[in-house]
A and B are shown apart, each in its own frame.
Chain A
Amino acid sequence: MRSKTETKKAHEPLFHVVKRDELSGIKSILVRAIAILAAIVVSSLVVVIAEKVNPVGYFKSMFRGAFSTPTLFWSFLHEAALLLCVAIALTPAFKMRFWNIGGEGQVLVGGLASIACMFYLGGKVPNVLLWVLIIVSGLLAGAVWAVLPALCKAKWNTNETLFTLMMNYIAIQLVCFCLDTWVKSGSGVLEPMHGYGLPSVGNKWLLNILIILALTVFMFIYLRFSKHGYEISVVGESENTARYIGINVKKVIIRTVLISGMLCGLAGVLICGGINHTISTTAAKGRGFTAILVSWLAKFNPLYMMLTSILIVFFQVGAIQVKSDFNISDVADITTAIILFFIVGCEFFIRYKIVFKKHGHKEAVNND
């Protein structure tokens, strides 16, 4: 009998994970601050051990990447805004638990449509009309790219994760095909059509940034205060509940994904029609995937996304600067990954706590 209890005891788990009650604002900020601090300590260690670089200088260099000159600062803000735009676009779909992994392709076809307008109509129609066409076609293309998987999901219950992912590859090959057709020399590099791009205000970055800021505020209001936003939340929580209270689930899914794709298309328009005036297969630059992280880290709140996108782009441009200043390559990417890992990881400890089994009574341990 005695030995039986002992065996039972030995098999009791060392710890288990419990969902936290709501963590107070200050506490959750503290947890995040500790996570960032820990991330900086760990990545400093990596920097010192692997490259023998002074970590203070290393992080100073990261800041220089974003803030040292006006060009770098504007370009940093603009990059963050573009990433924010894609995150804003993906958010309604994610909030509805529609896993849109196809942001990359939707951005790309949006850009491709706008470049196609510039290529075929540039100089042939008045610029104002051209701008309208660039925007409309880009939005439409993005919408089509997103709504195809949504229709198939609504009709045949196909898996949207795989479907949207596959659409990315089709988009990339479509860009390849167009470049092959347009660029007769075969180099795959389309000369930028600066004369036909969207207009600019102040400098070339400002208008894009303003548009995206307005979009962010709109999306915040749309999700928080509109009937559509409420429907999205309900469908995301439980489709059955949504059906029960009389929401047309299919309609909500398709409408939301349409908006998601359209806004991804807009990001493509701003990237290709607004600033680059040309397109390549790498024009979306992985933003379609990085934006998922931005959106998730901000818990689908568009206003927080401004912070998370700035944070992530800060590390991206910081890495370029670090590579330039210290002639190192992989370590810059490793430290970025470490910092992101800690930030994502700390969210776990904000939502859950780990409880160790000790002498028969439970003791909560704060594991930050």
Chain B
Amino acid sequence: MKKVLSFILMFAMVFSLVGVLASCNKSGDKAKGLVDSPLPEKEIKADFEVPDDFKIGFIFLHDEKSTYDKNFMDAARRAQKILGLSDDQVIFKTPIDESDECTTAAENLAEQGCGIIFADSFGHEPFMRGVAEKYPDIEFCHATGTSAHTAGLKNFHNAFANIFQGRYLAGIAAGLKLNEMIKDGKIKEEEAVIGYVGAFPYAEVKSGYTSFFLGARSVCPSATMKVNFTNSWYDVDKERQNALSLINDGCVLISQHADSMGAPSACEEKGVPDVSYNGSTYEDCPETFIVSSRIDWTPYFIYIIKCYVEGTPIADDWCGGIEEGSVVLTDINSGVAAEGTVDAIKEAIEKLKSGELKVFATSSFKVDGKELTSYEADVDDDGTFTPETEVIKDGYFAESEYRSAPYFDIDIDGITIQ
């Protein structure tokens, strides 16, 4: 009898496994609920030839399970396709820690004959800089770093994008969703609380959530936001826990700046709408995903390869915007997003392009009840963490204009840090 029972159980397990696998395949189909992005990837064509002996090496902190690193990998592969590079010409190193391991990886890429070496994580910077000093003929490019414009090295470069604009646009989608919830009577006006799972209390994160919040509040004036931090760039459990604690705390919409699926899947579990980052999470979270902003690194990769091939210098500190195709939005999930989201975002894009709209216009936010008229930011990274550059001009906080990596690190009214 026991044997029969165990056989039945075994078959049940096998069938349920098959069922799970089959359902996995189903979700891979192109989704019906998605509408085209108002700010899609820019089409790029190669207008130069890359020699066959050219090689580019990439250093990634995590593998593609991290949405952050996957975003870089996808861009590298896209650039490879556009330029017709062979697999031998594009070398990936992953996962590479922010330690001497990065030095080893970079030196090994140099030994393999790479002309350009790129690293994707903030903590890689000092190690990349060290290797750059050793190999003056190789170009070292580093995303999100802060020190290239003051380091005085000709072959070490930083890059970032005006992602605060993308965050603002994604924020509009969030604000409209809040409005819909208010209109439907699901929440009261004062209950329009957004929850935000941040990685570190660092300018890159603060700039991101503040611009997102300002986007949301531009359409939903009663919106407020609660932020908590995981103190890690990638921690599935902590991100999940932080999202759940925000939801328990009354947040009715979640967004995040941390690199795992922790927060989006917590939202899916609880049925709370989520504005993602680094890429679409629609496939795993079809019931709650609204939209995601992300940096498309393809234009930068094409740019540095072009500079290298043509022998022109690469900018110390490169910052891509909407025009360059660096800031993009994913397709929007019409099943969750509020009506009119696409049109509202398109309108804002035009205003951002023309300069009529500034994300960090000083009139749009207050600090301790007052409007900001002057602010010094720590733009030149000399290790002392002392602010030295006035960044308010013409009525707005000039984010990413004096340096590509964000330096907006102000706590504004309406956002509570937990």
A residues contacting B by CB (< 8 A) are 69-72, 75, 176, 180, 183-189, 191-192, 194, 204, 275-276, 278, 280-283, 285, 320, 323-324, 327, 329
Contacts and interface: CB of A to CB of B under 8 A. Distances in A.
List the 9 closest pairs (A to B, CB-CB), nearest first.
A184-B385, A186-B202, A189-B123, A186-B201, A75-B104, A187-B202, A276-B99, A69-B111, A71-B107
B98 A324 contact: no
A191 B100 contact: no
B94 interface: yes
B378 A185 contact: yes
A189 B94 contact: no
Contacts of A281: 231-232
Interface string B105-134: 001100110000000001101110010000
A186 B200 contact: yes
A320 B99 contact: no
Contacts of B385: 183-185
Given A176-B231, A180-B231, A324-B94, A188 B202 contact: yes
A285 B125 CA distance: 19
A191 B126 CA distance: 7
Given A188-B202, A323-B63, A324-B94, 17 more contacts: A69-B108, A183-B385, A184-B385, A186-B409, A188-B200, A188-B232, A191-B126, A191-B383, A194-B130, A204-B100, A278-B99, A278-B126, A280-B123, A285-B97, A320-B95, A329-B63, A329-B65
Contacts of A323: 63, 92, 94
B201 A280 contact: no
Given A186-B202, A324-B91, A327-B87, A276 B111 contact: no
A187 B63 contact: no
Contacts of A71: 104, 107-108, 111
Contacts of A276: 99-100
B203 interface: yes
Given A69-B108, A75-B104, A281-B232, A189 B98 contact: yes
B226 interface: no
A119 B232 CA distance: 22
A188 B122 CA distance: 10
A88 to B, nearest CB: 21
Contact of B99 (A69, A283, A324, A327): A283
A212 B87 CA distance: 39
B42 interface: no
A188 B231 contact: yes
6 contacts: A75-B104, A191-B383, A194-B130, A281-B231, A320-B94, A320-B96
Nearest to B110: A71
Interface centre among A75, A183, A185, A282 (most CB of B within 10 A): A185
Interface centre among B91, B93, B98 (most CB of A within 10 A): B98
Contacts of B378: 185
A40 B358 CA distance: 60
A21 to B, nearest CB: 35
Given A176-B231, A180-B231, A187 B122 contact: yes
B64 interface: yes
A312 B125 CA distance: 29
A115 to B, nearest CB: 12
Contacts of B94: 320, 323-324, 329
Contacts of A280: 97-99, 123
Contacts of B232: 188, 281
A10 B3 CA distance: 13
Contacts of A75: 101, 104
A60 to B, nearest CB: 15
Interface in B393-417: 409
B108 A72 contact: yes
Nearest to A177: B231
Given A72-B108, A185-B378, A275-B100, A192 B200 contact: no
Interface string B230-258: 01100000000000000000000000000
Given A71-B107, A186-B409, A329-B64, A192 B126 contact: yes
A320 B107 CA distance: 15
Nearest to A329: B63
A82 to B, nearest CB: 11
Interface centre among A75, A280, A324, A327 (most CB of B within 10 A): A324
A194 B108 CA distance: 21
B227 to A, nearest CB: 13
Interface in B60-113: 63-65, 87, 91-101, 104, 107-108, 111-112
Contacts of B100: 204, 275-276
Given A323-B63, A324-B92, A185 B104 contact: no
A285 B95 CA distance: 12
Nearest to B204: A187
A327 B92 contact: yes
